[in-house]
């Protein structure tokens, strides 16, 4: 059985009869010049060996997930708040944070990016906790940079919440977040399910923190970060009442007044209900949603409600945070915001299969064994909108049964389909459940979001509290494309739900021919995702949308032959769309689109392949300091350390071996 668009169940349409038997092409096809083909084959051989050497004995791959120093700063602030900060941790974190400081004294949120005020404030406070003196040259430079940009008052709300925990900011001067929010029915605007899952998991514990307003003794003053230490909390102007900002600012003022008269029994009951919600969503490894921020705030919230640090819930939560630690050779300690083993493993499997590794290679089979064991077979928060849809997806992380990921599920199915496993019936059943679940998670406009259905309300983004990045999960071109590509491989190109997805993608194309990349940087990622999906679903390479995309990619190719795009394209598309230093992952994405569009013999493809071969390191890997992954567009960026390996290998493999599943193209 499968789910229809509205979540009801119906028969799964049969896919193409030959799809289960199709394996990646392993006989080289005509591709470019002999010289380019030779260097590509050599690069594939080295990259394949490198990637195989990185697989864990259990079958998974995981590269470091690098973000920015706010993760490290907030980890130290959490430990200081709980009274468990030790010298070793503080010094190791300080070593990492100092190493990330820019010449001008600030900290950026991505490699080679501009200084960020909130990140700089948090990094500065963390270094003070690590023992750095305020008059040390690097600290004085940072403080001056902060003051020049308005001081603490100009930092984001979340930064000021951390400061309020130690009395460095007044709770009265923060937006109110009442715990009674937990009682809002699902039909009511601003109920917790109006928020994306990552925001929901963060906001629920923060309602408890907001209600409790704790203050721990500050270990030092922060006068040097204020433009006017005598008036550290200046009154902010109120927006006009006729504007949405003005409406929500006045709503916040009303909530501050409500706080003074909120019935005590109701407030305590709401906080207890929020605590139950939090505890019910703790994963088996002690984390929440497999990501660090909700875990941090959940630990604080439960601690404020009386859970001591030896309580099993708290102990497991703190232990889970330790697992986000990456120790570097120089003794520095970096905190990952999240870990990506399912995503990395399915992408590595696809890359190796498309590069020509035998479909029954033991390491691919082991990867499939591990992925099959990671399937989520119980309902999660997604079932609030789809109560009748049976489970069957995959998450991004090691442990995250509450929030399977539509994107991961599509890519896992594509990976499973490439491997000849010793238990094909088990694989087929898992694929069937994944396809059914993905179909059931289609939003009403025809697209797919990452975690939820129709998570499109504009109200959450307008709350004064929500200035930390994207807080809703609407359909995106990259996720929709991956689902459409998976459905096409499963023989469902002509299914009405797939056609609606195709129509959604065509409507979302930018005037210049590209597509916006929600979860990767940015228009290169979106275009590299959409073109292969449309072609797999049966659009001919001559289709106007495909030709516009090819034309755009050709115009933004760098002089060196590679492609790159700076994260600033999220903030200024006119200046930065498709522009930036060439990177291995983004060059791979561009090549995937061009190859799918039939451009194998084009000069652009040849130059791109040559660039990948020329920049490959002797061990078969590529170096990539630039951030090409996206958490929140512009606000939170990611350097997936495995992207630089899997996407170039996938592109090179398709250049030499041809497109996978060509026999079922178009269903």
Which active-site residues does the annotation give? 407
Place of tokens 């797939």: 498
Give the other-Cβ count within 10 Å of 572's Cβ.
12
Name the nearest CA neighbour of 606 among 640, 655, 645: 655
- The SS3 assignment for 333 reads strand
Note whether 307 and 296 are within 8 A (CB): no
CA distances from 137 to 4, 45, 125, 132, 430 (A): 62, 49, 15, 10, 58
Judging by DSSP bridges, how do beta strands 325-327 and 65-66 pair with one another? unpaired
Strand order in the sheet with 629-632: 65-66, 636-640, 629-632
613 φ, ψ to 5°? -65, -40
Q: By CB neighbour count within 10 A (0-12 exposed, 13-18 middle, 19+ buried), where does 306 fall?
A: exposed
Q: In the structure encoding, which two tokens stand for residue 220, read together? A: 């030092």
Instruction: Mention every residue, 6+ apart, whose C-beta is less than 8 A from residue 222.
Output: 125, 128, 152, 163, 168
Note whether 362 and 384 are within 8 A (CB): no
Instruction: Please report the sign of the dihedral spanned by the C-alpha atoms of residue 353, residue 357, residue 363, residue 368.
Output: positive
Note whether 473 and 197 are within 8 A (CB): yes
| Exposure class string for 32-50: b at 16+ Cβ within 10 A, else e | beeebbebbbebbebbbeb
Note whether 373 and 667 are within 8 A (CB): no
d(CA 287, CA 402): 11
Which residues on adjacent β-strands are paired with residue 520?
629
Give the other-Cβ count within 10 Å of 88's Cβ.
10
d(CA 284, CA 29): 47
d(CA 223, CA 372): 54
Q: In the structure encoding, which two tokens stand for residue 371, read together? A: 């992925």
Q: By CB neighbour count within 10 A (0-12 exposed, 13-18 middle, 19+ buried), where does 610 fall?
A: buried
d(CA 378, CA 7): 16
Place of tokens 């259905």: 453
For helices 544-556 and 584-596, angle between their N-to-C axes, nearest 10 degrees: 150
- The SS3 assignment for 564 reads coil
CA distances from 64 to 54, 99, 100, 636, 638 (A): 12, 17, 16, 16, 10
CA distances from 104 to 101, 132, 140, 282, 450 (A): 8, 18, 11, 41, 37
């Amino acid at each position: 059985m499968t789910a229809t668009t509205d979540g009801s169940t119906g028969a799964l349409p049969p896919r193409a009869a030959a799809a289960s038997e199709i394996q990646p092409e392993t006989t080289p096809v005509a591709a470019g010049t002999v010289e380019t083909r030779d260097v590509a084959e050599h690069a594939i051989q080295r990259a394949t060996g490198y990637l195989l050497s990185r697989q864990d004995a259990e079958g998974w791959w995981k590269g470091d997930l690098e973000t920015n120093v706010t993760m490290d700063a907030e980890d130290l602030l959490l430990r200081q708040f709980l009274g468990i900060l030790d010298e070793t941790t503080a010094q190791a974190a300080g070593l990492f944070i100092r190493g990330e400081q820019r010449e001008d004294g600030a900290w950026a949120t991505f490699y080679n990016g501009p200084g960020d005020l909130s990140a700089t404030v948090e990094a500065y406070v963390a270094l003070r906790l690590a023992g750095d003196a305020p008059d040390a040259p690097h600290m004085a430079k940072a403080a001056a940079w902060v003051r020049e940009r308005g001081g603490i008052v100009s930092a984001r709300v979340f930064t000021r919440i951390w400061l309020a925990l130690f009395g460095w900011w007044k709770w009265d001067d923060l937006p109110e977040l009442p715990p009674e929010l937990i009682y809002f029915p699902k039909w009511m605007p601003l109920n917790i399910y109006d928020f994306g899952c990552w925001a929901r998991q963060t906001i629920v514990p923060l309602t408890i923190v907001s209600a409790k307003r704790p203050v721990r003794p500050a270990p030092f003053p922060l006068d040097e970060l204020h433009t006017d230490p005598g008036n550290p909390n200046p009154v902010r102007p109120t927006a006009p009442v006729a504007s949405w900002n003005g409406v929500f600012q006045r709503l916040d003022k009303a909530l501050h007044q409500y706080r003074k008269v909120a019935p005590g029994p109701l407030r305590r009951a709401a906080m207890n209900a929020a605590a139950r919600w939090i505890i019910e969503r703790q994963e088996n490894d002690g984390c929440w949603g497999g990501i660090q921020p909700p875990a941090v705030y959940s630990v604080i919230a439960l601690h404020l409600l009386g859970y001591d640090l030896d309580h099993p819930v708290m102990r497991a939560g703190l232990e889970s945070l330790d697992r986000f630690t990456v120790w570097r050779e120089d003794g520095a300690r970096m905190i990952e915001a999240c870990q990506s083993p399912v995503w990395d493993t399915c992408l590595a499997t696809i890359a190796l299969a498309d590069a020509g590794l035998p479909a029954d290679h033991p390491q691919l089979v082991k990867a499939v064994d591990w992925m099959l064991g990671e399937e989520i077979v119980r309902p999660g928060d997604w079932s609030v909108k789809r109560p009748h849809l049976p489970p069957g997806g995959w998450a991004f992380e090691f442990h995250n049964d509450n929030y399977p990921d539509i994107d991961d599920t599509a890519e896992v199915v594509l990976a499973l389909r490439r491997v000849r496993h010793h238990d094909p019936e088990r694989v087929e059943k898992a694929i069937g459940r994944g396809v059914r679940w993905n179909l059931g998670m289609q939003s009403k406009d025809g697209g797919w979001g990452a975690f939820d259905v129709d998570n499109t309300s504009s109200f959450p983004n307008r709350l004064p509290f929500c200035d930390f990045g994207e807080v809703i999960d609407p359909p995106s071109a990259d996720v929709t494309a991956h689902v459409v590509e998976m459905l096409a491989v499963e023989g469902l190109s002509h299914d009405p739900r797939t056609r609606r997805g195709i129509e959604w993608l065509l409507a979302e194309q930018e005037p210049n021919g590209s597509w916006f990349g929600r979860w990767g940087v940015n228009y290169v990622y979106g275009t590299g995702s959409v073109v292969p999906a449309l072609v797999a679903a049966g659009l001919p390479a001559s289709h106007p949308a495909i030709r516009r995309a090819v034309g755009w990619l050709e115009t933004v190719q760098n002089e060196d032959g590679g492609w790159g795009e700076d994260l600033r394209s999220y903030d200024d598309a006119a200046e930065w769309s498709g522009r930036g230093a060439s990177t291995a992952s983004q060059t791979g994405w561009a090549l995937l689109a061009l190859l799918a569009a039939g451009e194998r013999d084009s000069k652009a493809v040849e130059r791109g392949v040559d660039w990948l071969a020329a920049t490959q390191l002797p061990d078969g890997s590529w170096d990539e300091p630039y951030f090409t992954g996206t958490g929140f567009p512009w606000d939170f960026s990611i350097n997936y350390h495995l992207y630089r390996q899997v996407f170039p290998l996938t592109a090179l493999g398709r250049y030499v071996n041809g497109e996978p599943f060509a026999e079922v193209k178009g269903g």
